[in-house]
Amino acid sequence: MGDPATPDNPPSGFRGRVVSSGNSQVSNGNIANIITIVRILLAPLFVWLVLLDGGDHGVWRLVAAALFIAAIATDGLDGALARKRNLITNSGIILDPIADKVLIGGALIALALVAELPWWVVVVILARELGITLFRLAVLRDRVIPASRGGKLKTVFQAVTLSSWLVPTWVILGEWVFTLNDILMGAVILVTVVTGLDYLWKGLRAPKVTP
């Protein structure tokens, strides 16, 4: 995670504190940022494993699912470390939300590539994520938009649903799991679209920041 530089904690590149707490300069290569980057790098790995499995729902699929769950479950660990040890950097602020989007996007694309998820679902969800990101960049320079609880809830809901799709529990529990997964994905699409529209509405109505 990241924090604006202060006179006692100036921009430092890769020089400064990596693990220890304190008020001195912080390295961009600190432990919190490293965790975030590892989470991002896990995305192409579990996508490759899903493709390697090729829809057989064997050991590679299980490994891919485990990597996804581990990567998505550690959301918040990097931020907690950064805040607790004062390891906040601007690069961390940028990378943390990117990690979630890369993981979610990677899982959606992997499932579509093995023909388990329709591509239109991928397009709807990723279009929302990309659209909101571009909207933020466009308006946050002169507007303060309240944090959305729905946005965080949406990410958790996406993570739980994609975990259920990736882990082939239907092999043991039966085909009713497919129905459950379809219901969960339908709810994810609804929540994703609604929270996106809500964020746009709040953003457009937010007062401009006076210089």
What pLDDT score does 143 carry?
A: 65
What pLDDT score does 18 carry?
A: 64
Q: How far apart are CA 18 and CA 119, in angstroms?
A: 41
What residue segments make up the domains of the chain, in order of their start?
31-205
Residue 61, pLDDT > 80, answer yes
Phi then psi dihedrals of residue 182, to 5 deg: -65, -40
What pLDDT score does 188 carry?
A: 95
What pLDDT score does 155 carry?
A: 87
What pLDDT score does 147 carry?
A: 57
Residue 178, pLDDT > 90, answer yes
What pLDDT score does 3 carry?
A: 42
Architecture of domain 31-205: Up-down Bundle (1.20)
Residue 154, token pair as written in the block: 């949406």
Residue 34, pLDDT > 60, answer yes
55 and 117 Cβ atoms separated by less than 8 Å: no
* pTM for this model (two decimals): 0.82
